[in-house]
């Protein structure tokens, strides 16, 4: 599959994390399974370090396949535990993100089979088809920076709708109640705001390129 | 493909508003149309980026509450000021949120026990004091002398480094015993220092050792709890702590009848450990407590014997090689 969240993002995350005292962080993570004790501590430390370095990318990948924010933390935690338990399978020097994405894909599909998740997660064959699609890298530094600028430039009402959806994790019916709108009006506002953001980002990137 | 219809379905997907029929329709489009799949990624990635940007704000608020990790918070602030990329602060924010979730969600007893076991291997220095809750604190040793467990001080580093200071009942001298990772050693008062390369050589009179629960090797002793004991996780009465209660599964299991552990759920560090129903075949206390009294760095050489006596002391070395 294409590395949708790869490259630059991973590098930036790595830079951001470099100064953090990993020994403090990892002392807080309980070992997920006793079986992990059979893997060398160095190997476990390696995959856990790489996981933290790539966590934004992994989390972003999960959000695309599971847009209900309330379930994201559980799935990301399960991915962390599986990555730790399967530490022996990872070969140092190979593409960690690709390995983590394959685990993430299976974890999302597994979650999709659980009651309550089935409605919000696409079927396995659809996820497989999506992940097999070759993609150019869309999550570049410039694109992310442009997105934040564009978000700051949204009209007040659109900003409020986007904040309620993405910062407060409200779904359209809840947003409608808070804003005194109909659910349909919220759906339209969200769709318009996203379209405006996408066009704004494309425009900014085109300007920068020229 | 009707692009307006696909836009509509994708927006419903991103907001969790797809009906079963609409989900079926969207999935059919995605399976049959590569261009629809590319549009899916474009829309879904915008959705995910927006969420990550908002989590940045959320994470910064959480970070302000994160008193225990000021360095992490500092990094988030500095990164924001100099702007090295959205992902930098987003990553730290997500990390804080992720850690927060991991740390605050309930642990099960075996996971909590493993956390405590792992923490006993940490490099940080810990100082514990022993108190006798029930029974006789005095234990006779050779030469007509006796040690008291009450007030014994145990210094630990990592999995196996220790120094134990115990008072003799004469009220004047102390027995000091230690292991620096290579050599074990012991001396009483201003007597000769006995040194051995056998780590267990001087353990026989250490607190807990004759009760089948050596405080100087908490890692292995706690590991044993996972097999021979029923372990339950409880909230401690002391605010912010958790408590592990372990009871022997059968009389055939060696060691104390009950073990109570109060620990910091963030670090796994044991703050208090109590043993009840200690074996009485050789006398001694029935119940004892170990309390964490300090976590200050003891210095690089603290666990070697030279740090505990003056230069020129007689050294009796007993090496196996």
Q: Which domains does chain A have, with CATH numbers?
A: 8-131 (no CATH), 141-209 (1.10.10.10)
Same-domain check for residues B139 and B236: yes
Q: Which of B58, B81, B104 is the last residue of a domain?
A: B104
Give bridge partners of residue B263 from the DSSP assignment: B242, B270
Evaluate whether B199 touches B160 at the Cβ level (below 8 Å): yes
CA-based angle A44:B90:B82, to the nearest 5? Answer: 115
Highest averaged pLDDT of the listed ranges A26-30, A198-202, B78-82:
A198-202
Nearest residue, CB atoms, B16 vs list A60, A61, A68: A68
Same-domain check for residues B310 and B219: yes
Q: What is the pLDDT of residue A189?
A: 94
Mean of pLDDT values over A39-68: 86
Same-domain check for residues B286 and B262: yes
Q: Name the DSSP letter for residue B108.
A: P
> What CATH number is attached to the domain comprising B216?
2.50.20.10
Q: What is the pLDDT of residue B86?
A: 45
Evaluate whether B301 touches B182 at the Cβ level (below 8 Å): no
Band (pLDDT 50/70/90 cuts) for residue A173 is: very high
E strand map for B136-221 = 138-140, 146-157, 161-168, 174-179, 184-188, 193-196
Judged by CB atoms closer than 8 Å, whether chains meet at A4 and B41 is answered as yes
Q: Which of B48, B78, B104 is the last residue of a domain?
A: B104
Please give the tally of structural domains in chain B. 2
Q: What residues of chain A lie within 8 A of the CB of B20, using their CB? A: 119
Nearest residue, CB atoms, B27 vs list A56, A68, A126: A126
pLDDT < 50 stretches in chain B:
67-89, 100-106
What mean pLDDT is reported for chain A? 78
Q: What residues of chain A lie within 8 A of the CB of B264, using their CB? A: none
Nearest residue, CB atoms, A194 vs list B46, B71, B79: B46
Same-domain check for residues B42 and B167: no
Same-domain check for residues B144 and B18: no
Q: What is the pLDDT of residue A137?
A: 58
Mean of pLDDT values over A102-130: 87
Task: Say if residue A130's pLDDT is above 50.
Answer: yes
Same-domain check for residues B86 and B119: no
Higher pLDDT among residues A163 and B281, named by residue:
A163
Same-domain check for residues B137 and B194: yes
Higher pLDDT among residues B183 and A142, named by residue:
B183
Burial of A15 (0-12, 13-18, 19+ CB in 10 A): middle
Evaluate whether B276 touches B302 at the Cβ level (below 8 Å): no
Band (pLDDT 50/70/90 cuts) for residue A15 is: very low
Task: Say if residue A45's pLDDT is above 70.
Answer: yes
Nearest residue, CB atoms, A20 vs list B13, B75, B101: B75
Q: What is the pLDDT of residue A79?
A: 92
Same-domain check for residues B51 and B94: yes
Q: Does B269 touch chain A (CB under 8 A)?
A: no
Burial of A183 (0-12, 13-18, 19+ CB in 10 A): middle
Q: What is the pLDDT of residue A31?
A: 42
Task: Say if residue A28's pLDDT is above 50.
Answer: no
At residue A20, φ and ψ (nearest 5 deg) are -80, 140
Cα separation of B214 and B206, whole Å? 7
Mean of pLDDT values over A42-52: 87
Q: Which residues does A64 contact at the CB level (< 8 Å), separation at least 6?
A: A4, B41, B44, B45, B47, B48
Q: Which two tokens stand for residue A97?
A: 């993100």
Evaluate whether B89 touches A16 at the Cβ level (below 8 Å): yes
Domain of B254 in residue numbering reads as: 109-318
Q: Which residue of B has its CA nearest to A135?
A: B38
Cα separation of A66 and A72, whole Å? 7
Q: Which of B49, B69, B104 is the last residue of a domain?
A: B104
Same-domain check for residues B154 and B60: no
Coil, helix or strand for B224?
Answer: helix
Cα separation of A86 and A94, whole Å? 15
Q: Which residues does B117 contact at the CB level (< 8 Å), separation at least 6?
A: B219, B222, B223, B226, B268
Helix or strand holding residue B8 (H, E)? helix B3-14
Q: Which residue of B has its CA nearest to A78?
A: B102
Share of chain A above pLDDT 90, in %: 31
Judged by CB atoms closer than 8 Å, whether chains meet at A16 and B86 is answered as no
Q: Which stretch of A51-60, A163-172, B131-140, B173-182 has the lowest confidence by average pLDDT? A: B131-140
Q: What is the pLDDT of residue A9?
A: 40
Same-domain check for residues B183 and B261: yes
Which alpha helices (DSSP H) does chain A contain, by range? 8-17, 22-28, 41-53, 55-65, 72-85, 96-112, 124-131, 141-152, 156-162, 172-179, 183-209
Q: Which stretch of A26-30, A197-201, B231-235 has the lowest confidence by average pLDDT? A: A26-30
Task: Say if residue A46's pLDDT is above 80.
Answer: yes
E strand map for B54-160 = 125-135, 138-140, 146-157
Coil, helix or strand for B217?
Answer: helix
Cα separation of A196 and A161, whole Å? 13
Band (pLDDT 50/70/90 cuts) for residue A195 is: very high
Cα separation of A153 and A173, whole Å? 25
Judged by CB atoms closer than 8 Å, whether chains meet at B86 and A148 is answered as yes
Cα separation of B17 and A131, whole Å? 23
Band (pLDDT 50/70/90 cuts) for residue A136 is: low
Same-domain check for residues B152 and B200: yes
Q: What residues of chain B lie within 8 A of the CB of A123, using their CB? A: 27
Same-domain check for residues B100 and B122: no
**Chain center to CA of B61:** 27
Task: Say if residue A26's pLDDT is above 70.
Answer: no
Judged by CB atoms closer than 8 Å, whether chains meet at A133 and B37 is answered as yes
Judged by CB atoms closer than 8 Å, whether chains meet at B84 and A73 is answered as no
Contacts of A77-83 spanning 24+ positions with Cβ under 8 A: A77/B98, A77/B101, A77/B102, A78/A107, A78/A111, A79/A103, A79/A104, A79/A107, A80/A29, A80/A32, A80/A48, A80/A51, A81/A32, A81/A33, A82/A107, A83/A47, A83/A48, A83/A51
Task: Say if residue A44's pLDDT is above 80.
Answer: yes
Higher pLDDT among residues A196 and A55, named by residue:
A196
Q: Does B94 touch chain A (CB under 8 A)?
A: yes
């Amino acid at each position: 599959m294409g590395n949708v969240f790869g490259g630059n993002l991973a590098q930036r995350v790595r830079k951001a994390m470099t100064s953090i005292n990993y020994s403090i962080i990892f002392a807080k993570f309980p070992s997920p399974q006793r079986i992990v004790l059979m893997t060398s501590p160095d190997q476990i430390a390696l995959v856990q370090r790489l996981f933290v370095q790539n966590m934004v990318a992994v989390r972003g990948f999960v959000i695309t396949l599971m847009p209900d924010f309330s379930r994201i933390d559980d799935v990301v935690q399960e991915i962390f535990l599986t990555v730790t338990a399967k530490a022996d399978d990872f070969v140092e020097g190979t593409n960690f993100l690709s390995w983590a994405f394959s685990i993430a894909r299976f974890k999302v599909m597994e979650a999709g089979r659980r009651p309550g998740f089935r409605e919000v997660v696409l079927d396995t064959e659809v996820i497989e088809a999506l992940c097999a699609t070759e993609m150019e890298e869309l999550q570049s530094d410039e694109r992310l920076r442009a997105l934040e600028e564009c978000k700051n430039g949204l009209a007040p009402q659109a900003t409020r709708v986007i904040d309620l959806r993405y910062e407060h994790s409200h779904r359209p019916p809840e947003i409608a109640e808070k804003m005194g709108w109909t659910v349909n009006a919220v759906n339209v506002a969200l769709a318009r705001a996203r379209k405006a953001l996408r066009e704004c980002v494309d425009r900014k990137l085109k300007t920068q390129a020229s | 493909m009707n692009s307006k219809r696909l836009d509509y379905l994708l927006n419903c997907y991103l907001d969790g508003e797809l009906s079963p029929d609409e989900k079926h329709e969207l999935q059919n489009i995605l399976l049959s149309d590569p261009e629809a799949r590319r549009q899916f990624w474009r829309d879904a990635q915008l959705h995910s980026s927006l969420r990550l940007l908002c989590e940045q704000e959320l994470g910064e608020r959480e970070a302000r509450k994160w008193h225990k990790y000021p360095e992490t918070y500092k990094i988030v602030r500095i990164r924001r000021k100099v702007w090295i990329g959205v992902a930098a602060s987003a990553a730290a924010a997500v990390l804080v949120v992720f850690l927060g979730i991991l740390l605050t969600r309930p642990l099960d007893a075996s996971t909590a026990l493993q956390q405590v076991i792992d923490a006993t291997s940490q490099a940080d220095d810990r100082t514990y004091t022993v108190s006798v809750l029930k029974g006789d604190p005095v234990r006779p040793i050779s030469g007509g002398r006796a040690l008291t467990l009450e007030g014994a001080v145990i210094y630990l580093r990592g999995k196996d480094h220790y120094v134990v200071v115990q008072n003799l009942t004469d009220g004047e001298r102390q027995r000091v015993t230690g292991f620096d990772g290579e050599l074990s050693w012991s001396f009483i008062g201003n007597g000769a220092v006995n040194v051995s390369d056998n780590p267990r050589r001087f353990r026989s009179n250490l607190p807990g050792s004759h009760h089948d629960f050596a405080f100087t090797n908490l890692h292995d002793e706690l590991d044993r709890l996972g097999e021979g004991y029923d372990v339950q996780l409880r909230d401690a009465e002391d605010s912010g702590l958790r408590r592990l209660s372990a009871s022997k599964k059968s009389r055939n299991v060696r060691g104390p009848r009950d073990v109570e552990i109060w620990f910091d759920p963030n670090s796994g560090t044991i703050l208090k450990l109590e043993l009840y129903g200690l074996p009485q075949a050789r006398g001694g206390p029935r119940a004892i407590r170990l309390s964490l009294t300090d976590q200050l760095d003891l210095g690089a050489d603290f666990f070697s014997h030279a740090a505990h006596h003056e230069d020129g002391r007689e050294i009796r070395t007993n090496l196996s090689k």
